[in-house]
Chain A
Amino acid sequence: MKLLKLESLLRELGCTAEPETARVPEIVPNLSRALVGFEPDILAGARRPKPSETIALFPLTSDTPVERTTAEYRKASLMVSLSACIALADGRATEDEAATVETMIASWQHLHLDQRTRLRAQYRLQVLQGITLSSLKSRFAGLPPEGRLQLATSLSRLATANGRIGATEVKLLEQLYRALELDPKLLYSHLHGGIQNANDPVPQMHPDSSTGPVIDTARLAALRQETDQVSALLAGVFTEEETPSPSPSPAVLQSEVAESAPCDQLLPGLDPRHCQFLTELLSKPMWSRAELEMAAAKMQIMLDGALERLNDAAYDLVGEPIVEGNDPVYVQQNILENAE
């Protein structure tokens, strides 16, 4: 495929007299017979280019012109023009966007090879020369609703092809969705969905069929593996590997804890005052807040700060709080014993 100025082509063909452009409609069929395609497609109604404008020449496989007025071709051509609009919305068309359009055109196997080559030429020419959405609006009219949705989805996917979504692209897509009489809210879903990893599947669902949901076994296996990684990652945070040992009865523990176990052995790092408070706390499984406030005041300590400190130390030791609740306050008398 070659892009060149029309005047260069005319010079090459030996047309030097003015006005040479009048001879373009004669030249194009002759080029076609020589298996060379010409874009813009003036034979299908496109405006005749000026000598200073760029044209595209591309190889054809057949000298018999392929019909370019079918609904399929017109839709594909519109799609390519819109793709050029979207690609240019953020200032310049990138390689990623060109690659996405190329993949899209290559997938249109229902079109003749020459038609597909022409569409590639059309895209290259349009991103070079620029194209506006308003110039295409009249071509939306004949599209059926499902065709519009398909068009919109493909274009929003194209907008995400370069890995970033610029506000100018979104604005243009919003205009496009409105022009296609689609809810712009659908656009945000499409943009969100369009930036899925290439590996992410499009769920295959048959809600009304008796086969039920289709599970992609390869993806299921990959997801299981990822979930195992997540479990391992979170286990590191939540210390899930601890194994609670069978605990003696609370009554036995209560007396043991209160009477025999030295506080700093139960919860290391506490000062004497908090040790004393812990010992007092462990003497009952349940306290009213008023009772605890009195006990704390007697020891000249602040209740909430003390409970925070004891619970923090208990978390560090056994991964569980020693007290729970606000009023009444429940004391887990056995958890420190389990830690030993």
Chain B
Amino acid sequence: MTPVIRPRERDAILQSLRAGVVPRVGQHLIQVGRAHELRALIEDIDRVADGGATFRLIIGEYGAGKTFFLNLVRSIALEKKLVTMHVDLNPDRRLHASGGQARSLYAELTRNMATRTKPEGGALAGILEKFIAQAKTESEQTGVSTDQIVRQNTQRLAEMVNGYDFGDVVLAYWRGFEEDNEQLRLDAVRWMRGEFSTKTDARAALGVRTIVDDASVYDQLKLLARFVRLAGYSGLFVCLDEMVNLYKLANTQARMSNYEQILRILNDSLQGSTEGLGFILGGTPEFLFDTRRGLYSYPALQSRLGQNTFAREGLADYSGPVIRLSALTPEDFQILLEKLRYVYAQGDPAKYLLPDDAIPAFMHHCSQRLGDSYFRTPRTTITSFIDLLTILDQNPQVQWTSLIDELALQPDTGGEADKAIEPDDEFTTFKL
């Protein structure tokens, strides 16, 4: 199989990797192995597209490629006409909070809402307008007013938390368009993005009684999942990365509340009580296993996550909620470098800037400088390899043999940040 490499994808891959970040498009061109894991996730996406619900935890150590894997899965979901939302958790973005952090997570998720045609995010307005345009077309065909059809279609959301107001907000957006009231449209989008912080403001702007607050984030995602299906998409796929940030919360109650949300999502997906909604969460082994701070510290999650059988007599089971990503091996790394060479040459072996011999030579150089971290945490070594290709591309007279030994390699120490625990500021403002 020789994939066609689109210039857009090639440039995105090379620019991202050179900057030391995971590419957002074209990941499929450089994916090495992980056939079982990908099959499992593709099945998940198909299940969501069929109206089902899924939940997966992607567990891997720093450098194992969790973010890359999540982005690849997200791209697949987009190709399969799902709407995706993604966010990196951080201290100000959590699943549960009382100080606006959960709403902040939701706001970021909606900002990053993507469709196949808008993979970079910002697709909410397009989805909303597509839904209304369908109603408008129906209105033209049936003679019933667009208002009525929008109201009729959003009735299917009314039974859900915030569902009635959601319908009103969609209608407000349509009225804003009809009446050329830009402010009304903006307010409608603001409500959907969870940007109203008080009910009074929301009522004054849109006449609705509720807002998206910390307590309703997950319910709002369920609502959006049903809405995108009404708008003609296959479902909603939510990617939450850097889950280790929940593990790092010093306050036990805050951690437990967040884990309770995870349990709620997991239970809903296992019981099939949500519709067209998939979750994929990326975290480190300590986030899962630590019995004091990790998911294993929450008794109800212990039993559900512990039952996942990973490997038995050499066979792996990918049906459980946990998918384990093993660290890269030298063999993975070699194939990855070959793929990067292929992408750089736009899929034309005649344009290869390095011969086959150069790849083991590059690995040898990395191994001597960095030990086995060159393939276990390969961020910096991949960047160096792209740098090498770029120099050879721009200076055809230079021999690769003379360059490899001079390549500077920095160890990747980003994993240290994952281990830092936040200070508990619970009582810093405590006064008697």
Whether A198 is near chain B, meaning CB under 8 Å from some CB there, is yes
A164 in contact with B308 (CB, 8 Å) = yes
Partner of A302, one of B32, B133, B286, B306: B133
Given A205-B371, A223-B33, A308-B117, also A195-B311 (CB < 8 A)? yes
CA distance A234 to B75 in the complex (A): 10
Given A164-B307, A304-B125, also A234-B38 (CB < 8 A)? yes
Q: How far is the CB of B328 from chain A (nearest CB, A)?
A: 9
Whether A326 is near chain B, meaning CB under 8 Å from some CB there, is yes
Number of interface residues of A (CB under 8 A): 75
Given A207-B367, A223-B335, also A230-B31 (CB < 8 A)? yes
B306 in contact with A167 (CB, 8 Å) = yes
B38 in contact with A230 (CB, 8 Å) = yes
The number of residue pairs between A and B whose CB atoms lie closer than 8 Å in the complex comes to 208
Given A233-B38, A308-B117, also A240-B3 (CB < 8 A)? yes
B28 in contact with A199 (CB, 8 Å) = no
Given A164-B308, A174-B291, A205-B371, also A305-B132 (CB < 8 A)? yes
B335 in contact with A215 (CB, 8 Å) = no
Interface residues of A in 231-289 (CB under 8 A from B): 231-235, 237-238, 240-244, 271
Given A163-B312, A230-B33, A306-B129, also A207-B372 (CB < 8 A)? yes
Whether B80 is near chain A, meaning CB under 8 Å from some CB there, is yes
Interface readout for A71-111 with B: 1 if CB under 8 Å, 0 if not?
00000000000000000000000001000000000000000
Measured between beta carbons, the chain B residues less than 8 angstroms from A164 are 306-310
B1 in contact with A232 (CB, 8 Å) = yes
A170 in contact with B296 (CB, 8 Å) = yes
CA distance A329 to B45 in the complex (A): 31
Measured between beta carbons, the chain B residues less than 8 angstroms from A304 are 125-126, 128-129
Measured between beta carbons, the chain A residues less than 8 angstroms from B132 are 302, 305
CA distance A227 to B127 in the complex (A): 35
Measured between beta carbons, the chain A residues less than 8 angstroms from B177 are 302
Whether A309 is near chain B, meaning CB under 8 Å from some CB there, is yes
B360 in contact with A215 (CB, 8 Å) = yes
Measured between beta carbons, the chain B residues less than 8 angstroms from A192 are 59-61, 285, 289, 324
Q: How far is the CB of B112 from chain A (nearest CB, A)?
A: 14
Interface readout for A153-174 with B: 1 if CB under 8 Å, 0 if not?
0000000101111110011001
Q: How far is the CB of A312 from chain B (nearest CB, A)?
A: 6
Interface residues of A in 157-215 (CB under 8 A from B): 160, 162-167, 170-171, 174, 184-185, 187-189, 191-193, 195-201, 203, 205-208, 212-215
A213 in contact with B61 (CB, 8 Å) = no
Given A188-B286, A223-B331, A233-B38, also A196-B326 (CB < 8 A)? yes
A203 in contact with B329 (CB, 8 Å) = yes
Whether A219 is near chain B, meaning CB under 8 Å from some CB there, is yes
B289 in contact with A165 (CB, 8 Å) = yes
Number of interface residues of B (CB under 8 A): 81
Partner of B79, one of A198, A220, A237, A242: A237
Given A305-B130, A306-B133, also A188-B331 (CB < 8 A)? no
CA distance A153 to B290 in the complex (A): 17
A308 in contact with B363 (CB, 8 Å) = no
B289 in contact with A234 (CB, 8 Å) = no
Whether B34 is near chain A, meaning CB under 8 Å from some CB there, is yes
CA distance A244 to B9 in the complex (A): 15
Measured between beta carbons, the chain B residues less than 8 angstroms from A213 are 330, 360, 363-364, 367, 375
Measured between beta carbons, the chain A residues less than 8 angstroms from B307 are 164
CA distance A197 to B310 in the complex (A): 8
Measured between beta carbons, the chain B residues less than 8 angstroms from A230 are 31-35, 38
Given A227-B335, A237-B42, also A205-B367 (CB < 8 A)? yes
A305 in contact with B129 (CB, 8 Å) = yes
Partner of B329, one of A219, A231, A271, A321: A219
Whether B143 is near chain A, meaning CB under 8 Å from some CB there, is no
Whether B99 is near chain A, meaning CB under 8 Å from some CB there, is no
Measured between beta carbons, the chain A residues less than 8 angstroms from B286 are 185, 188
Given A166-B306, A305-B129, also A223-B1 (CB < 8 A)? no
Measured between beta carbons, the chain A residues less than 8 angstroms from B128 are 304-305
A233 in contact with B42 (CB, 8 Å) = yes
Q: How far is the CB of A87 from chain B (nearest CB, A)?
A: 16
Measured between beta carbons, the chain B residues less than 8 angstroms from A15 are none
CA distance A220 to B180 in the complex (A): 62
Whether B314 is near chain A, meaning CB under 8 Å from some CB there, is yes
Given A203-B330, A207-B372, A241-B4, also A195-B324 (CB < 8 A)? yes
B364 in contact with A237 (CB, 8 Å) = no
A196 in contact with B311 (CB, 8 Å) = yes
B331 in contact with A167 (CB, 8 Å) = no
A198 in contact with B291 (CB, 8 Å) = no
Whether B144 is near chain A, meaning CB under 8 Å from some CB there, is no
Measured between beta carbons, the chain B residues less than 8 angstroms from A163 are 309-312, 317
Nearest CB in chain B to that of A211: its residue: B364
Whether B258 is near chain A, meaning CB under 8 Å from some CB there, is no
A233 in contact with B39 (CB, 8 Å) = yes
Interface residues of B in 116-135 (CB under 8 A from A): 116-118, 122-123, 125-133
CA distance A200 to B316 in the complex (A): 11
A237 in contact with B1 (CB, 8 Å) = no
B289 in contact with A191 (CB, 8 Å) = yes
CA distance A162 to B60 in the complex (A): 20
A227 in contact with B309 (CB, 8 Å) = no
Measured between beta carbons, the chain A residues less than 8 angstroms from B131 are 305
Whether A1 is near chain B, meaning CB under 8 Å from some CB there, is no
10 contacts between A and B (CB under 8 A): A171-B291, A187-B289, A188-B285, A188-B294, A203-B329, A205-B372, A230-B31, A305-B131, A308-B129, A320-B6
B interface residues, Cβ below 8 angstroms from A: 1, 3-4, 6, 28, 31-35, 38-39, 42, 59-61, 75-76, 79-80, 115-118, 122-123, 125-133, 137, 177, 180, 284-286, 288-292, 294, 296, 299, 302, 306-317, 324, 326-327, 329-332, 334-335, 360, 363-364, 367-368, 370-372, 375, 419
Contacts A230-B33, A241-B4 aside, 19 further interface pairs with beta carbons under 8 A come to: A163-B312, A164-B307, A167-B296, A167-B302, A188-B289, A192-B324, A195-B311, A205-B367, A207-B368, A207-B372, A213-B364, A223-B335, A226-B34, A234-B38, A237-B79, A240-B1, A242-B4, A305-B125, A320-B6
